[in-house]
């Protein structure tokens, strides 16, 4: 059975159209399937639409989160609830064409355990494209995840063995896509053209983009700490030179005080930056130690009970 997972935030207008295309696509793909939709506490009629679809088709199940928690938490919730031999994460805004499932499922049936749908084209504004390009460059070059697609991939299929492995990680502040890349297994890629959004507006705000970058880097790399160490060593070397220079020039120019002030301010700034970076790691350790649930389910649509977490 193929499980299709869709996180949704204010997508009441798109879900019925997406349902029709999913049904048509899965008719060609063949086999049993289910559609799990996670409503990230939408402000519109998204969950009412999910309930109507679940009454119309027993293969549709829905979960509404008790608070708006972001797409990665919604994806995590869905990956904990799907029951298929493979699961496909597909956006609700029709930017990820369901017809791409033909090739993705075929690759899975041939033995791939993770199939990434990578973008040939990316519609949208230039700032969004620039941020995405920078994010994937950082992940590939600085964090060290060279397997991550250079143009990005948030449309993917994972095998049951990968799902079981993913469920063993209780982390809250983490990028789902980065974690699946880090897990390993047999990963393959197919290309597709990302489509323009058909209705509504994206909930992917600047603050959530920044949080994704911070979570992705601090969850998988100590690169920021190492950068602070390198900068600290460099500044200490410069400080020694400045100190020697200020002592040597003090009798002639009277400029030693300025050099010392520069030294003090520079070192204080370095300490604050280093403290902030280390604080990010300490805060995440505190978050993990609290063991708060990553999500709470407010309501359920469909006939089956939600899965219990291991």
**For 149-184, what is each residue's pLDDT tens digit?**
766 667 899 999 889 888 887 777 677 888 888 888
Handedness of CA 303, 17, 92, 146 (dihedral sign): positive
DSSP for 168-223?
Answer: T---SSS-HHHHHHHH-SSEEEEEEEPPPP-SS-----HHHHHHHHHHHHHHH--H
Phi, psi of 263 (to 5 degrees): -60, -45
> Residue 252: is its pLDDT beyond 90?
no
- Among 48-57, 221-230, 238-247, 282-291, top mean pLDDT goes to 48-57
Which long-range contacts link 198-205 to residues 24+ away (Cβ below 8 Å)?
A: 198/13, 198/14, 198/17, 198/93, 198/94, 199/13, 199/14, 199/93, 200/10, 200/11, 200/13, 200/14, 200/93, 201/10, 202/93, 203/9, 203/10, 203/40, 203/68, 203/71, 204/71
Q: Label residue 51 by pLDDT band (50, 70, 90).
A: very high
Chain segment 96-149, per-residue pLDDT in tens: 888 888 899 999 999 899 998 887 765 555 555 666 666 666 666 666 667 777
Q: State the pLDDT confidence band at 94, using cuts at 50, 70 and 90.
A: confident
- Residue 208: the pLDDT is 63
Model-level pTM? 0.69
Position 238 scores a pLDDT of 75
Within 10 angstroms of residue 267's Cβ, the number of other Cβ atoms is: 14
CB atoms within 10 A of CB 113: 21
pLDDT at 209: 64
Spatial separation of the C-alpha atoms in residues 39 and 78, rounded to whole Å: 10
Contact yes or no for 217/284 (Cβ under 8 A): no
Alpha carbon distance 24, 246 (integer Å) = 77
Q: Quick check: 81 and 294 in contact, CB under 8 A?
A: no
Q: Which CATH superfamily is 2-203+293-301 part of?
A: Spore Coat Polysaccharide Biosynthesis Protein SpsA; Chain A (3.90.550.10)
Contact between 105 and 86 (Cβ < 8 Å): yes
Q: Is 9 or 201 the better-scoring residue by pLDDT?
A: 9
CA 168, 285, 208, 117 torsion-angle sign: negative
Tokens of 122: 């990316």
Question: Among 34-43, 72-81, 266-275, which is the least confidently predicted range?
Answer: 266-275
Q: Are 207 and 170 in contact (CB under 8 A)?
A: no
* Percentage of residues of the chain with pLDDT beyond 70: 65
Residue 307 has pLDDT above 60, yes or no: no
Contacts of 81 (CB under 8 A, 6+ apart): 36, 38, 61, 63, 306, 307
56-60, 158-162, 269-273: the lowest-pLDDT one = 269-273
Q: What is the pLDDT of residue 21?
A: 92
User: Can you tell me the distance from the alpha carbon of 38 to that of 59, in angstroms, rounded to the nearest whole number?
Assistant: 14
| pLDDT score recorded for residue 256 | 59
Burial class, 260, CB count within 10 angstroms (exposed 0-12 / middle 13-18 / buried 19+): middle
């Amino acid at each position: 059975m193929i499980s299709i997972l869709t996180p949704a935030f204010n997508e009441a207008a798109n879900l019925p159209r997406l349902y029709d295309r999913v049904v048509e696509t899965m008719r060609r793909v063949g086999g049993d399937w289910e559609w799990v939709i996670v409503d990230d506490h939408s402000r519109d009629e998204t969950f009412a639409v999910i309930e109507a679809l679940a009454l119309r088709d027993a293969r549709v199940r829905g979960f509404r989160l008790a608070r708006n928690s972001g797409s990665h938490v919604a994806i995590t919730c869905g990956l904990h609830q799907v029951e298929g031999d493979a699961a496909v994460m597909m956006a609700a805004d029709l930017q990820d064409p369901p017809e791409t499932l033909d090739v993705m499922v075929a690759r899975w049936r041939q033995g791939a355990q993770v199939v990434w749908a990578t973008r040939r084209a990316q519609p949208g504004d230039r700032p969004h494209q620039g941020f995405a390009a920078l994010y994937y460059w950082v992940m590939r070059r600085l964090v060290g995840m060279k397997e991550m697609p250079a143009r990005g991939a948030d449309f993917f299929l994972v095998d049951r063995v990968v799902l079981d492995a993913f469920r063993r990680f209780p982390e809250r502040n983490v990028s789902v896509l980065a974690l699946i890349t880090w897990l390993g297994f047999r990963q393959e890629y197919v290309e597709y053209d990302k489509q323009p959004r058909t209705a509504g507006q994206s909930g992917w705000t600047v603050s959530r983009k920044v949080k994704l970058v911070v979570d992705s880097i601090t969850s998988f790399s100590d690169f920021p700490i190492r950068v602070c160490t390198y900068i600290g060593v460099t500044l200490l070397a410069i400080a020694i030179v400045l100190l020697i220079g200020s002592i040597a020039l003090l009798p002639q120019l009277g400029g030693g005080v300025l050099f010392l002030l520069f030294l003090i301010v520079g070192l204080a700034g370095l300490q604050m930056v280093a403290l902030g970076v280390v604080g990010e790691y300490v805060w995440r350790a505190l978050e993990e130690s609290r063991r708060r649930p990553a999500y709470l389910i407010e309501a359920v649509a469909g006939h089956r009970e939600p899965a219990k977490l291991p």
